[in-house]
Chain A
């Protein structure tokens, strides 16, 4: 038996509202399958399950707001018998609360989580009436988005994460100017040959080069947890994506360093489409190992980001614009990009950060090798 819990979808999330289940008791689920939709301060997220199994019971019904870590459903391992599961869950439940058998049955029928039910009687035994009340309270399934305070919620989430970042993370900042002549030319000639549906955006070779440069300076990729750095072997590139109407999210493109430019474009397209449509997956929200932010579209020359905790670095890209650029004593006008790095000084020093930006520059001078 295993418990499927409300996942943490970022350092700034403490609770989520279950919007709907995609599963019912008796269903077989596969690792990675989207089983539920949860409304968070950052919108509705598709939540995946992390093991194969059979759905034994749903403990929370749509509309209920539950804290991170709360059990949402009980799963039975493949081959595990139902009896084992029932026994185990019953035992867990009794340890927690005194519940009348009738109330327990009703809670199961209605999908109410007993842990969230407050008994009215002073002796603390949960009755059928308590369960009914809890079920009714959970009913108004008006999501935050529908209730209109969604933007306020998102601002709150951003405020919490960014305040924590500036309070706790000793940022250092570096920037370098990169000649984008070769990348621009490579994109232009490549896109001429591609059908319109397969064109690459300039962001794509930049994403690939950032991911590859991170391989060379692993101190920028991972998390600061419990007072120490935990490097990540995978490079999950969090893409800061503005939402129409305000706010932003930074979901991950997984294993960005090992994806081809075509695969990255497809992943970016999928991600942006779902950000705008309001449907991200829990894994994307939870596991970016580093963030990339790009504000060049708005014409800014350079951006110095605020690290999203518990990550330890954020890379900022400005506008690609023609600027005078001296090479070998001659001033040319070339498409230039200012790339910046804000990194956590507890984990890395300026020297390593400088090596990262140098690697990024080097990689962008050979775009045909980005793959």
Chain B
């Protein structure tokens, strides 16, 4: 797909979250607060979000980068960089 923008990445993250925890209202997520605590995602749920993003965006997020995914804003910054990097190598 074309380079996804921030809104598309946000939609992809929300889709991944609601596929695992359908009861969550993503509108309530505070983008600057730790994501997992806000919506009670355990490590298994979080791994499923990572797998889902791998499927929809085609990127492999290594465990060593999980630290950058702690907040919604952080995750968007990270994914934007990763997706952009993939489309424009070098």
Interface residues of A (CB under 8 A from B): 188, 191-192, 195-197, 199, 201-203, 242, 244-245, 268-269, 272, 276, 297
Contact = CB atoms under 8 A, between A and B. Distances in A.
B42 interface: yes
Interface residues of B, number: 16
Nearest to B24: A244
A199 B23 CA distance: 26
Interface stretch (B3-11, B43-51, B71-79): B43-51
B60 A188 contact: no
Interface in B39-90: 40, 42-44, 47, 50-51, 54, 60-64
Given A188-B63, A192-B63, A244-B23, A199 B47 contact: yes
B76 to A, nearest CB: 19
Contacts of B60: 195-196
The interface residues of chain A, by DSSP majority, are classed as helix
Given A272-B44, A297-B43, A196 B23 contact: no
17 contacts: A188-B63, A191-B63, A192-B64, A195-B60, A196-B51, A196-B54, A199-B47, A201-B43, A201-B44, A201-B47, A202-B43, A203-B43, A203-B44, A244-B21, A245-B23, A268-B44, A269-B44
A197 B63 contact: no
A144 B40 CA distance: 25
Contacts of B47: 199, 201
Contacts of B51: 196-197
Given A242-B42, A297-B43, 9 more contacts: A188-B63, A191-B63, A192-B64, A196-B50, A196-B51, A197-B51, A197-B54, A244-B23, A268-B44
Contacts of A188: 63-64
